[in-house]
Amino acid sequence: MSTLQPITLKRLASRRRGAALATSLVLIFAMSTLALGLVSLVGATIQMSQHRNDTTEAFNMADSGVDLAIAWLTQQASPPDDNALHPMTNFYGTNGTITAPFGQTGTTLTVRIDGDATNPTSTQKHYVIESQATMPSGASQTVRVYVQQASFGKYAYFTVNDGAGFWDFNNHFEGPFHSNDADGLQTTILWKSNNTANPMFTYTGDDAFSVSGNVTWWKNSIGVVSSPSSISDYKSIATSGQPSMTTGYKTDANGNFLLDSSGKKIPNSAQIPLPTTDYTQEYAAMGLPAPTPCTTAPAGTPTTAGATIVNSSGTVSGGIFLHGNSVVALSVNGSGNQVITVTQGTTIQTITVDPSNNQTKVDKSVSGVHTMTTLTGTPNGMVYSDGNITGLSGQIADNKVDSSGNITYRSQMTIATDIAASKDVTLTGSITYNTARNLSIAQASDTNFNQKAGVFGLLGHHISVASGAGPNLEYDGNIFATSTFDAANPSIPSSSSNGTMTSIGGVITQSSGIFAYANSDGSLASGYQEQYHYDTRLADHPPPFFPTTGNHYDVLSWQRVTGMLT
């Protein structure tokens, strides 16, 4: 028999130990490789997360830069009326670039405002705002927005003082309503319970009803104070309910009122001041650029009674200037042209605007003797009177539209009196567009109206509906009264033939006027039921030379872009 030699066992153990060491080294290498891969992956993930965070922060900062730019615009004494680039040098930073904005070291924020090319000559100013934020990591975001001065054409009804009477469930507003509540007398609403099928405010935007202060609520009957509380209550007042209604004052977390620097309570809906009285419309009628500020009347205005078509050697260079008190009738002739008839005593001037032939014709009749004048060109849409307009009614011509549906000429007109001298307007009948709005459908679907109907604006001190104007009236366009818009006699129409005053456009007034008297249950006793329908076109395309809201701006478009314009 035989046995293993000891030396052989030692060699075998040595070989086994060598194999185990090799296996361990392989495992260690594999684990190290895996660990390095995980470290690299985690590092990349952290880097990607940091880049994503930087990108998000850069975007938020760029968006805040837009807010800074709009704040800069609102702080100006008047909107910049040039088409220059404004890098906000006087507002924040150097040449529009802010270093370490909001305490972010190594970060830059560049903000600039570029005036639109039309700003030097347009009443409603437009601006492109660009804001670019760059983080220390290099992540950069740019935001570009297009803003315009807000027009009072955005409101179905706007008033500074609203304490003269009350609004009741017979009144309806298909558009934004706002009261500044400046007189402190509070807006009063007589609402009807369980009336969700026929609420007063049918506009579905979030600004259907706003008051810069508190509201007095009467329920079902005059003087019965009862505020809405349930969802049904609010929807009996506004189609969209409480979310579309803004009233009252701001409070802190403890319910204490917040106060401004003068110690007054801050309303939830900010007051919007009416523009100061100036001579912008008079300059427009004269075909002259209005200075900033526009505090003095232009020189060389007509002194001949009646209507003057401002022209230079037979070519129209401005608008229509009315000297003295007059009666104005608006009509449309068989060719679809706007006709303006101005009467002063025995003198009658018939002005026909003919854009198809680029002409304006004037037929002047003095005691029956006619004189014809033909001018080249058409007026700029401004009709200005330095006297009272003692009678106004009629129809506004349509736009000129080609066979492809393109608008080749916009029919637009603003009639204004000398509000600095408190000149008034008396409405003796309706003022309507030649193409009527179809109130049975949403305006967005009313393509015929949106394409064809002209645009009209009326500006005066006291604008009043005459007693004999008729039982059912319609006023298309924007009405702006620097004093009051009302009915001369709310007792007419009488209870046996109550009428309706329908506005398709908007009303802006210093003080709400009275159009009707009501019974104790809110039903109409006499006068006019008021129906206000917003014309969405007027927010972006207001009547020519119509007053704006001053330093308040609407954002028309918003974009995230790859870089700033050169």
Q: Is the pLDDT of residue 45 over 80?
A: no
Q: Which two tokens stand for residue 444?
A: 């967005």
Instruction: Please report the beta strands in 294-402, taking only residues with DSSP state E, as ranges in sequence order.
Output: 306-312, 315-323, 326-332, 338-344, 347-354, 359-366, 369-376, 382-385, 389-396, 400-401
Query: 265: pLDDT confidence band, cut at 50, 70 and 90?
Result: very high
Q: Which two tokens stand for residue 171?
A: 């009144």
What is the structure's pLDDT at 228? 97
CA angle 550, 553, 559 (to 5 degrees): 160
What is the structure's pLDDT at 6? 47
What is the structure's pLDDT at 44? 57
Identify the three-state secondary structure at position 17.
helix
CA dihedral 18, 24, 28, 30 (to 10 degrees): 100
Q: How far apart are CA 112 and CA 418, in angstroms?
A: 38
Q: How far apart are CA 124 and CA 117, in angstroms?
A: 12
Let me know how long the chain is. Answer: 566
Among 38-42, 90-94, 156-160, the minimum mean pLDDT is found in 90-94
Mean pLDDT value across residues 66-95:
70
Identify the three-state secondary structure at position 442.
coil
Identify the three-state secondary structure at position 154.
helix
Q: How far apart are CA 422 and CA 112, in angstroms?
A: 41
Among 10-19, 353-362, 446-455, 460-469, the minimum mean pLDDT is found in 10-19
Q: Which two tokens stand for residue 124?
A: 């409603």
Q: Which two tokens stand for residue 188?
A: 């009063």
Instruction: List the chain domain ranges.
Output: 46-138, 186-271, 278-288+308-559
Mean pLDDT value across residues 341-356:
97
What is the structure's pLDDT at 539? 77
Query: 41: pLDDT confidence band, cut at 50, 70 and 90?
Result: low
Q: Is the pLDDT of residue 187 over 70?
A: yes
Highest mean pLDDT, choosing among 263-277, 424-438, 529-543: 424-438
**DSSP bridge pairs for 272:** none
Query: 5: pLDDT confidence band, cut at 50, 70 and 90?
Result: very low
Contacts of residue 523, defined as CB under 8 A and 6 or more positions apart, other chains included, come to 170
pTM of the entire predicted model: 0.79
What is the structure's pLDDT at 3? 38
HSE on the CB side for 463, CA within 13 Å? 26
CB 267 within 8 A of CB 250: yes
Q: Is the pLDDT of residue 362 over 50?
A: yes
What mean pLDDT is reported for the chain? Answer: 88
Q: pLDDT by residue (tens digit) across 432-446? A: 999 999 999 999 999
Identify the three-state secondary structure at position 473.
strand
Q: pLDDT by residue (tens digit) across 283-335? A: 999 999 888 778 899 999 999 999 999 999 999 999 999 999 999 999 999 99
DSSP-assigned letters across all residues of 382-407:
EEEESS-EEEEEEEEPPPEE-TTS-E
